[in-house]
């Protein structure tokens, strides 16, 4: 059974869901579908047979194919009950977001609440309660809270990216920033490059845009530039999505030479680049950035404050060329009406401007440095090998001993109230089956170590 058969099956499911076809409605003939999808009739026959085996369609002798039952809305990926759910990008998201309050979450991608600058947040919220009536009740301006855009523009300028606040659009979240960019630049069927491995939700988001995702092999100093150029030539992608500073999940940091080669290839093939800077404040000193080298010609810088300040007070941003910002602002009005919440943006602004924030982040970086060292040593004692030594952040990307299955271990752990992040959810090519991402700030619960050790000893059986 080939990939083309799967694609035809997906196309038929899509068509049923998209058209709202009901039981008894007729489906395209084998010949018509083969022509419209540019596949052989035998591929369509196989796809219809397998859909019939699933109970989705049925043949009537001499009169073609029909919908057998009204389908549920097409899920983005396999979605069954929580327990039976496939280990896909949503698995980790749902497990992390909807975990029981007492669950341990070494697989989640954020810091525990007691690592966060809660006092600065409380001060900012009390200040919000005293804001003017209009700030509390109005939509705010189309690009979002001006003082926060000014503060961000000053920060960017200090890092060598000299843009004004008009080049900054506030968004509902960092994820929404990427989503708006995809809406502007991508069309169904386009190809997008990501790192392999990459942040798992890039994969979920891109699948919602119905584009083809191709992974560029990651190295400890950034994406492999030769592969990048070769994949650019072969696939003519429209967009490349990456994070340069403390790459998620690997912890890699971009080298100047790699940055230059990737930008040169992107220019040669006219590829736009999204550089996600959500982890920038975790770096001890700044490493090269594509946006700074490029000066926002083809790079769009995005980020949010969810990892450093609060994921509850939601706010993200895009810094990009003015003509793109203008079009993205319209798109955000159409799909969200207005930018980030002015109250939330005000809280973010006040907390970032609070003298305590910088001191707090210095403390977090020191504390994370110690935790990375301790966790890496302890993982080594049970046979897990670090892929690279990150310069900052909370993630360690490790290989399980003897090619063990990270998905099996994650399922085993889920049954014991421990949320893990197995490698393949990060890997577009599915070549990270033995890798696991650990969050060193979420490893203090003894159950984490008991579960991982016991799971490894049992080969991941339930």
Q: Does 79 bind a second copy (CB under 8 A)?
A: yes
Site for a second copy in 433-462 (CB under 8 A): none
Q: Does 83 bind a second copy (CB under 8 A)?
A: no
Q: Binder to a second copy among 30, 293, 327, 361 (CB under 8 A)?
A: 327
Q: Does 146 bind a second copy (CB under 8 A)?
A: no
Q: Does 204 bind a second copy (CB under 8 A)?
A: yes
Site for a second copy in 148-187 (CB under 8 A): 172-176, 179, 183-187
Question: Shortest approach of a second copy to residue 326 CB, angstroms?
Answer: 7
The set of residues, in sequence order, having a beta carbon less than 8 Å from that of 121 and lying 6+ positions away, is: 309, 310, 313, 347, 351
Looking at the Cβ atoms of 266 and 379, the one nearer to a second copy is 266
Where does this chain touch a second copy (CB under 8 A) — which range of 35-43, 108-116, 245-253, 285-293? Answer: 108-116
Beta strands 272-276 and 299-304, pairing class:
parallel
Q: Does 366 bind a second copy (CB under 8 A)?
A: no
Site for a second copy in 181-200 (CB under 8 A): 183-188, 190
The helix-helix angle for 89-97 and 200-208 (nearest 10°) equals 110
**What residues are paired with 59 via a beta bridge?**
65
CB atoms within 10 A of CB 389: 12
Cα(366)–Cα(368) distance, rounded to whole angstroms?
A: 5
Question: Shortest approach of a second copy to residue 285 CB, angstroms?
Answer: 26
Residues 302 and 277 sit within 8 Å (Cβ to Cβ):
yes
Q: Does 9 bind a second copy (CB under 8 A)?
A: no
Residues 271 and 239 sit within 8 Å (Cβ to Cβ):
yes
Question: Shortest approach of a second copy to residue 63 CB, angstroms?
Answer: 21
Q: Does 41 bind a second copy (CB under 8 A)?
A: no
Residues 222 and 450 sit within 8 Å (Cβ to Cβ):
no
Would you call 60 helix, strand, or coil by DSSP?
strand
Where does this chain touch a second copy (CB under 8 A) — which range of 74-82, 242-250, 419-427, 445-453? Answer: 74-82
User: Which of the 8 DSSP states describes residue 114?
Assistant: G
Could you tell me how far CA 20 lies from the centroid of its own chain? 30
Q: Binder to a second copy among 343, 398, 409, 443 (CB under 8 A)?
A: 343
């Amino acid at each position: 059974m080939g990939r083309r058969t799967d694609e035809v099956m997906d196309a038929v499911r899509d068509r049923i869901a998209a058209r709202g076809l009901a039981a008894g409605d007729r489906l395209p003939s084998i010949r018509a579908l083969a022509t419209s999808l540019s596949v052989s009739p035998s591929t369509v026959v196989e796809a219809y047979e397998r859909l019939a085996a699933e109970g989705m369609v049925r043949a009537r002798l001499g009169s073609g194919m029909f919908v057998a039952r009204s389908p549920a809305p097409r899920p983005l990926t396999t979605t069954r009950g929580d327990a039976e759910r496939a280990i896909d990008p949503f698995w980790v998201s749902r497990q992390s977001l909807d975990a029981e309050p007492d669950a341990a979450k070494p697989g989640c991608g954020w810091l525990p609440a007691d690592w966060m600058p809660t006092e600065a947040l409380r001060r900012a919220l009390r200040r919000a309660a005293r804001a003017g009536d209009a700030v509390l009740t109005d939509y705010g301006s189309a690009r979002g809270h001006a003082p926060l855009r000014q503060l961000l523009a000053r920060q960017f300028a200090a890092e060598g990216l000299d843009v004004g606040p008009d080049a900054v659009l506030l968004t509902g979240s960092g994820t929404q920033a990427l989503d708006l960019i995809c809406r502007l630049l991508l069309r169904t069927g386009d190809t997008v490059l990501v790192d392999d491995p990459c942040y798992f939700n890039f994969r979920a988001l891109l699948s919602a845009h119905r584009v083809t995702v191709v992974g560029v092999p990651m190295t400890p100093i950034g994406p492999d530039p030769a592969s990048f150029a070769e994949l650019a030539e072969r696939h003519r992608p429209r967009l490349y999505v990456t994070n340069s500073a403390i790459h998620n999940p690997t912890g890699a940091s971009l080298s100047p030479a790699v940055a230059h080669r990737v930008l040169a290839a992107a220019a040669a093939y006219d590829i736009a680049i999204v550089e996600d800077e959500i982890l920038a404040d975790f770096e001890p000193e700044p490493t090269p950035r594509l946006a700074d080298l490029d000066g926002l010609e083809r790079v769009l810088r995005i980020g949010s404050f969810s990892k450093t300040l609060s994921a509850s007070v939601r706010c993200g941003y895009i810094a990009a060329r003015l003509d793109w910002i203008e079009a993205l602002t319209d798109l955000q009005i159409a799909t969200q009406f207005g930018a980030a919440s002015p109250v939330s943006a005000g809280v973010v602004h006040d907390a970032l401007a609070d003298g305590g924030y910088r001191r707090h982040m210095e403390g977090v970086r020191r504390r994370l440095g110690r935790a990375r060292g301790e966790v890496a040593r302890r993982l080594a004692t049970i046979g897990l090998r670090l892929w690279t030594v990150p310069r900052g952040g909370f993630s360690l990307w490790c290989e399980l001993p003897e090619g063990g299955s990270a998905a099996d271990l994650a399922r085993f752990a889920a049954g014991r109230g421990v949320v893990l992040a197995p490698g393949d959810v990060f890997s577009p090519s599915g070549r990270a089956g033995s890798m696991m991402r650990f969050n060193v700030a979420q490893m203090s619960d003894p159950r984490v170590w008991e579960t991982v050790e016991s799971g490894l000893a049992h080969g991941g059986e339930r």
